[in-house]
Structure formats: structure tokens, C-alpha cells
Structure 1
Amino acid sequence: MHNKNIKQFILYAIIGGSNFFIEFFILNILWKITGLYSGYINFLFKGIAFIAYSINGYYWNKKYTFKTEGSYVSYASVLGAASIVDAFILSNLSLHNLLGVSQVLWSNISALTASITTGVASFLINKFAVFKN
């Protein structure tokens, strides 16, 4: 990897981390309000969180990571596809508490696992398709 690519990946990961915190904050509020922590309700909850973190991620990645104009629709499409995969992983994993911990903790572990799984693929697609120079 070239230095520019490494720097971009690190910035993308930092911005992805901020998206992760936005998403977790929203998910935890929705879980707490509804009392629903597992299953396919997470597709709806992730959709709600997606609106907030996609706008955040697009702005910061356009301005700092890739420093070029990219289409929000293209960015949101990539992020949306990743979010669907995330929701599938989260929904299914949250149904099987493999560690026997509280459902709140297990749902957060499931969400973290889903986010990490799709993060690297999203970076590559954004770098080479959405924000290409």
C-alpha cells in the first residue's frame, strides 16, 4: 500500500468509527425505548440509524479522506448495501447469544461484529468507485 492509501484507510476508519458511534447511540436508544433487542426489527432500526450516519460519513469522507466530489447517491448506495448486509448479520447473530451475556451486551457485540465485517469492503468500493479521481 502506498502512503496515500494508508492515510485514506486510516481517515476512513476514523470516520467509520464516528459513524459507528452514531449508529450505536441510535440503536441503543431504539432498543431501550422498544425493549426489542434481537431479530429482524434490527432492519428497521439500522435503517433509521443509516439516515444519520450516511450524511455524516459522506460529508467527512468527501472533505478529508478522498478530497474529491463524489455522488451522495453513489455513496449512500454503497453504504446502504453494506447496511443491509450489516442488518442481516446483526439480526441473525442477535438471535443466538453465544456468550450467554445480557441481551443488551450481546446486541452491541452483534452490531460491532456486523460493522467490522462490512467496513473494509465499503472502503474499497468507495475508494475505487464513488470517490475515484
Structure 2
Amino acid sequence: MIMKQLTLYALIGGSNVIIDFTILNILWKITGIYKGCINILFKAISFIAYSINGYHWNKKYTFKGEGSYLKFTSVMGIAAMLNAIILSIMSNKNILGISQVLWANISALTASISTGIGSFFINKFYIFKK
């Protein structure tokens, strides 16, 4: 059961990453700013979109429960803040010396994976517990 839920959560998380990266890349392209604290604002904007998506699909398919949207967004909001901090720090330290656009995306992916694992367990055992 937990492996099925983890797989569904990862698939839904993948769709959230696509939403997140699409919004981030649009904002980066519009502003021309790829690093620094501005990423906290950009992550807040993308969070609104992907949290609605994630709540809907996780409630319906992954956990099949009546979890509170307020609790879900609170947990996801904390995860998004940690994610934004990781992204902001990593985006300033381009240790591979690659293009800033590519490094910003690698930083965003690393941050998403880091916070996504913990979020699964909080959602399973706290938000959507049966």
C-alpha cells in the first residue's frame, strides 16, 4: 500500500515539478534574474499553482481521504519555503560553472526532491491519515 501511494505521490509530484519549473522559467525569462533572493518570491508564485494541483490529485488518488486543504497548504508552504531557501542558496553557488539557466534548474530540482520526500510522510501520516 505504501509503495503504491509513494508512486502516485511521486507522479503527482512530477506534475507539480512541471508546473513549478514552467512558472519559474517564465519568471526567470521575463526578469532576466536567475539567482538570489528573488527566487523566494518566484517560488511563492509557483507554489500557489502547484499546491492546488497537488492537493486535488493527492486527495483523490494517492491518499483517498478528506485531508484539510489548510493543513495541506501549511505543510506544503513550509516545504516551499525550505525549497526556496535551498534554491536561493544553490543558485548563488554555481559549482559546476555551467550556464546560469541550467544551474538554476538543477538547483530547483535538487530543492524539490529534498523537500518532496519529507512532505510525503507528513501528508500520509498527518494530513490524510485515516
Give the TM-score normalised by the residue count of structure 2. 0.99
SS in 2 for 1:94: helix
| Mapping for residues 49-68 of structure 1, pairs under 5 Å | 49-68=46-65
Structure 1 residues without counterparts, runs of 5 or longer: none
Deviations 1:3-33 (Å, cap 9, x if unpaired)?
Answer: x100000000000000000000000000000
Report the RMSD for the aligned CA atoms in angstroms. 0.4
SS in 1 for 2:82: helix
Per-residue deviation at 1:91? 0.2
| Distance in 2 of aligned mates of 1:110 and 1:75 | 24
**Aligned equivalent of 1:81:** 78
SS in 2 for 1:37: coil
Counterpart AA for 2:91? S
Deviations 1:69-89 (Å, cap 9, x if unpaired)?
Answer: 110000001110000000000
Runs of 4+ in 1 over 2 A off after TM superposition: none
Counterpart AA for 1:80? G
Per-residue deviation at 1:112? 0.3
**Aligned equivalent of 2:68:** 71
| Distance in 1 of aligned mates of 2:109 and 2:48 | 18
1:16 aligns with 2:9: no
Per-residue deviation at 1:93? 0.4
Structure 2 residues without counterparts, runs of 5 or longer: none
**Aligned equivalent of 1:114:** 111
Per-residue deviation at 1:56? 0.2
**Aligned equivalent of 2:43:** 46
**Aligned equivalent of 1:125:** 122
Counterpart AA for 1:129? Y
Deviations 1:45-103 (Å, cap 9, x if unpaired)?
Answer: 00000000000000000000000111000000111000000000000100010111100
Give the TM-score normalised by the residue count of structure 1. 0.97
Counterpart AA for 2:60? K
